[in-house]
Amino acid sequence: MLETERLVLRRWEDGDASDLYEYAKDPDVGPIAGWPPHQSIEESREVIKNVFTGREAYAVCLKTDGKAIGAIELKLNGYTDMTDRDDECELGFWLGKPFWGQGIIPEAVHEMLRHAFEDLGMTKVWCGYYDGNTKSKRVQEKCGFRYQWTTQDVDVPLMHEKRIGHVNCLTSGVWKTEERKTRKAQVSAFQVLSFGNPEADTLLIQMVDDHDLEVIENEVSYIEKLSGGQCFDLKAIRVNNWNDDLSPWQAPAVFGNEEFGGGAKETLEFVLGKIVPTPDEIKSRGIKRVFIGGYSLAALFALWAGYQTNAFDGIASASPSVWFPQFTDFMQENEIHTEAVYLSLGDREERTRNPVMSKVGAAIREANNLLATSGVDCELEWNKGNHFKDPDLRTAKAFAWLMNR
């Protein structure tokens, strides 16, 4: 099963027959794609049993009700005439007419392309359309496919006729380039909120989501109290996709179905280019210290950022997701470029039943040892409770420790 913001792409089931018939009977749907309208629910059921059986054949379903409203498939070698290579495949799709014009198929295609290139290791995805199918043509162009050739007199066996066929292709290299452009465009739209005193000589930087923002005022008050009333300028950067924007590299989902996209590099580029002051700005504004921190995955991002640049004077890493695959290996193999790191964890966080996240206790102890042996001024504090207890206070304690050094 695959998921997008609005959709679930899942295997076809016998119970989908009535929903399939509802949309496949429309004469505006099938014929333009090369197959006749369905005549009965029983015919739709037979199609599910005998046609929608490919390893990568999915029903397109809205998350709101889970009903099948279209189909999408990656046809692998042996089931397509567009390629004879195992590392290439053909993409096909259609959507029920009531859902046209809502961006649903481009959304589904985008996820299928990610699946093809990242999960299946494809180097090329082919896609075609018959002359006159302008909707399919536009979807393919919008999703990055590039024109390859046109063939006259293509047999369309289910319609008992010949047509003009157009073939497009998308390579993994082109797709990856476009993905990077898209990610950078999304990163450039990060919302930045300011708290505290913008004239302060201490700059705090924190990646946040909506949950963090709900308690950010509490955090600010805690920082003021715990730092003894020191002035600071807190820049809270609201990310667009928590798992994508803050993960240092791609990794499988740990809970639910949302994988980690590995977009930390682009996020850090935004922080360094838009938030961290230049040497001239530091001089003119009198900034003396720049700290980066956060909670959970944002804390992991802050810790990772300390290995990428010397722009930060300290890292405030509260309950960091150091269970993240291969992260402590990364710490062991690289050199951190900051002088102080605060780490913390709830004393019940490692008691989770999740087999990956339960490693967080051992991982943070190892992280603390690695930092200490490298000569970094490091503090590891154990807080009461699980991961979801007092994130505002825990983050404030992290920043205040750096400010009070």
Per-residue pLDDT reduced to its tens digit, 58-81: 999 999 999 999 999 999 999 999
The identity of residue 360, as a single letter, is V
For 16, 24, 51, 97, 291, the CA distances from 47, given in Å and listed in that order, are 11, 11, 5, 19, 60
Q: Residues 76, 89: contact at Cβ < 8 Å? A: yes
CATH homologous superfamily for the domain 188-404: Alpha/Beta hydrolase fold, catalytic domain (3.40.50.1820)
Domain segments of the chain as ranges: 2-181, 188-404
pLDDT in tens, 99-116: 998 999 999 999 999 999
Q: CA–CA distance from 362 to each of 71, 109, 172, 318 (Å)?
A: 45, 40, 38, 16
Residue 293: which of 272, 267, 273, 312 has the closest Cα? 312
**Distance (Å, whole) CA 230 – CA 172:** 51
The residues facing 124 across adjacent strands are 88, 171
pLDDT (tens digit per residue) in 387-402: 999 999 999 999 999 9
The CA angle 336-340-341, to the nearest 5 degrees, is: 80
pLDDT tier, 185 (very low <50, low <70, confident <90, very high otherwise): low
pLDDT digits (tens, 9 = 90+) for 308-331: 999 999 999 999 999 999 999 999
How high does pLDDT run on average in the chain? 94
Q: What is the domain class of 2-181 according to CATH? A: alpha beta
Give me the numbers of helices (H) and strands (E) for the chain, helices first please: 14, 17
Considering the entire predicted model, what is its pTM?
A: 0.62
Read off the pLDDT of each residue in 2-26 and give the average, rounded to a whole number: 95
Residue 188 pLDDT grade (very low, low, confident, very high; cuts 50, 70, 90): low
What does the pLDDT look like over 206-220, one tens digit per residue? Answer: 999 999 999 999 999
Q: Which residues of 317-345 are buried (b: 16+ CB within 10 A; e: fewer)?
A: bbbbbbbbbebbeebeeeebebbbbbbbb
* β-bridge pairing 57-62 and 7-10: antiparallel
pLDDT reported for residue 396: 98
Structure confidence at residue 183 as a pLDDT band (50, 70, 90): low
Q: Exposure of 215 by Cβ count < 10 A (0-12 exposed, 13-18 middle, 19+ buried)?
A: middle
Distance separating alpha carbons of residues 288 and 402, to the nearest angstrom: 13
What integer pLDDT is reported at residue 287 of this predicted model?
93
The whole-number pLDDT of residue 255 equals: 76
